[in-house]
Structure 1
Amino acid sequence: MINLIYAAATAFIITLLIGPVMISLLRRLKFGQNIREVGPRRHFEKSGTPTMGGVIILVSTVVPVLLFTDITPKLFWALFVTLSYGCLGLLDDSIKIVADRSLGLRAMHKLLIQILIGGLLGYNVLYNLNISSELIIPYLGTVIDLGIYFIPFVILVVVGTSNAVNLTDGLDGLAAGVTIIVAITYTVINLKFGNYDLAIFTTSIVGACLGFAWFNSYPAQVFMGDTGSLALGGAIAVAAVLTQTELFLVIIGGVYVIEALSVMIQVIYFKLTGGKRIFKMSPLHHHFELKGWKETKVVIRFWIVAAILSLVGLLGLQGI
């Protein structure tokens, strides 16, 4: 158990040590964030803030894992998905900077790579890690066997979660704070199921995100970019897949789900009504900003909702 604390503390300290160096380097390289013209006007003052800070999170997560536990097959795939999505995000961020635009990789290219990584995870979970195709149903303590639909379902979970975290990363400290809460919850779940190696992994994420929040809190000195948000989404998704708690993730990661749904609802409603909107702007956090809430209020209230949903999700484990 003590290694869990060591892992989180090490991740936190590494982040604090390399953060200023990385931020300074990103500033010198002029790797600044491009702000979408359709976003809230107050966000234009953030233009030029260094992005790609997710590299800090990746380094701070991986090092403690290597130091405090052995690389088991499950842990290998957890790291593989996290780093693969992080590299995809790094490529996306790099294109944005080089092309000097707010959009990076073409959406279809990005989605195909995400699907490929998710498919590799699903196949290996089913055939090499000897994890069954059953999902635990929250509160009921029963399972449902997906059979041949397991791999497509894993792809949906991984791709959906990574993109949902990406959408959540729109305000200073929002994605990092929510992910801290979700990762703590999955540390508890991993310990309950005896996955000590994965508990080290998730607690390292907690420490890395805590350290990153030091620099990403309002007003942010650095943004995680797609490098961080896609990697964190992949990490949380793989933690759910490897513990067969994908259905719990819908509750525990409810803030991610709500953010993603707000975008889908907005787009569908916009197309069906010829240009009308349900929300002032999506994702949902921008809606509350445009209603007059200060950025810090939106962030803190979303953290509170994330904490409540995590507790509700953990209650679903009773009797399992």
Structure 2
Amino acid sequence: MLEQVIIFTILLGFLISVILSPIFIPFLKRLKFGQSIRDEGPKSHQKKSGTPTMGGIVVLLSIVVTTFIMIGKYAEPTIHTYLLIFVTFGFGLLGFLDDFIKVVMKRNLGLTSLQKLIGQIIVSVIFFLILQHYDFSTVISIPLTDFSIDLGWGYVLFIIFWLVGFSNAVNLTDGLDGLLSGTAAIAFGAFAVLAWSLSQLEIAVFSVAVVGAVLGFLVFNAHPAKVFMGDTGSLALGGAIATVAILLKLEIILILIGGVFVIETISVILQVTSFKTTGKRIFRMTPIHHHYELIGWSEWRIVVTFWTVGLIFAVLGIYIEVWM
């Protein structure tokens, strides 16, 4: 039965995205919700200017509808389902406001960093308080060791760091056609396997719903992209994957399964630190996928390479948690 639930969920999520995308793309074009390309970005990206963005709305709709339909059919939704939807929608709303300001109000940077951070912290704290109400464990375990630590009320700081950090890390990864859609599908697929192995049906269904949604979106987001996900989708997916890891009590393994997102973030941190301390850049441009563009790799080569790296990380994460 569980196998059928997983298959039907991924198919439903895929179909909803594939059906909605051709409806939303012309709608976004009519509203002139086109992507503005920053001047400091790779010159090859200028031709992408005007491509409809905020396609993450389709992904969000697909995830929410698929999750509630499938969980409602095979089980009774619990607090896990509502928390997953709350964080995903909360971060998606922040992304939507960011995109709206960029494309409608023509402020290319969108929300200020402080505004975005405050919004992310508010969602994270509410999430923590709800967990506390249900006596959720504040213990963090380190994979491959017997070491664990109870953070107590300090767990709220960890949750803020994890949700804010991974939402921004996933956001940084959304820089090439199909890059985030593919890496997100792989990472959420890995967590679906782990949730399944832990008999966490709701979290498995949600994770697979995300896989179906982003794969359906990839049909239109693959190079050359007809629509971009925008911060609406990337911030939502980042918050969602951190929430999945927290609810499964697999917080630390997210560093491995989400290795591509971590590498993208580290590349930016190293670049900024190096430039501020020495005046020299380590990479030609960050996040690191832009570095490979500037040394002559084709967009497809970069995307497929990053997908492959993400798949290796995902398999390692599953192997460590399930077989070790």
TM-score normalised according to structure 1 size = 0.97
Aligned to 1:293: 297
Aligned to 1:87: 93
TM-superposed deviation, 1:281 = 0.2
TM-superposed deviation, 1:130 = 2.6
1:239-272: per-residue Cα shift (whole Å, max 9, x none)? 0010111100000000000001111111111111
Aligned to 1:168: 173
Aligned to 1:51: 53
TM-superposed deviation, 1:318 = 4.0
Is the Cα–Cα contact under 8 Å of residues 164 and 259 in structure 1 kept in the other structure?
A: yes
TM-superposed deviation, 1:142 = 4.5
- 113-122 or 132-141, which moves further after superposition? 132-141
TM-superposed deviation, 1:163 = 0.3
Is the Cα–Cα contact under 8 Å of residues 52 and 93 in structure 1 kept in the other structure?
A: yes
Aligned to 2:69: 67
Quote the sequence identity (%): 46
The letter for the 2-side match of 1:187 is A
TM-superposed deviation, 1:210 = 0.4
For 1:4-19, list aligned pairs within 5 A: 4-19=6-21
For 1:106-145, list aligned pairs within 5 A: 106-125=112-131, 127-140=132-145, 142-145=147-150
TM-superposed deviation, 1:106 = 0.9
1:85-141: per-residue Cα shift (whole Å, max 9, x none)? 11110011000012324310011011011011111112222x123321112211225
TM-superposed deviation, 1:64 = 1.2
**Distance (Å, rounded) in 1 between the aligned partners of 2:69 and 2:139:** 32
For 1:228-239, list aligned pairs within 5 A: 228-239=233-244
**Distance (Å, rounded) in 2 between the aligned partners of 1:217 and 1:141:** 43
The letter for the 1-side match of 2:116 is K
**Distance (Å, rounded) in 2 between the aligned partners of 1:251 and 1:72:** 28
For 1:1-320, list aligned pairs within 5 A: 1=2, 2-69=4-71, 70-125=76-131, 127-140=132-145, 142-274=147-279, 276-318=280-322
Runs of 4+, deviation exceeding 3 Å:
none
**Distance (Å, rounded) in 2 between the aligned partners of 1:27 and 1:53:** 11
**Distance (Å, rounded) in 2 between the aligned partners of 1:233 and 1:299:** 18
Gaps of 5+ in 2: none
TM-superposed deviation, 1:147 = 2.0
The letter for the 2-side match of 1:167 is L
**Distance (Å, rounded) in 1 between the aligned partners of 2:163 and 2:257:** 15
Gaps of 5+ in 1: none
Counting matched residue pairs gives: 318
Is the Cα–Cα contact under 8 Å of residues 168 and 235 in structure 2 kept in the other structure?
A: yes
TM-superposed deviation, 1:54 = 0.1
* 281 and 119 in structure 1: CA distance in 2 versus 1, 3 angstrom threshold: same
**Distance (Å, rounded) in 1 between the aligned partners of 2:322 and 2:65:** 33
**Distance (Å, rounded) in 1 between the aligned partners of 2:81 and 2:321:** 23
Root-mean-square deviation (CA), in Å?
A: 1.2
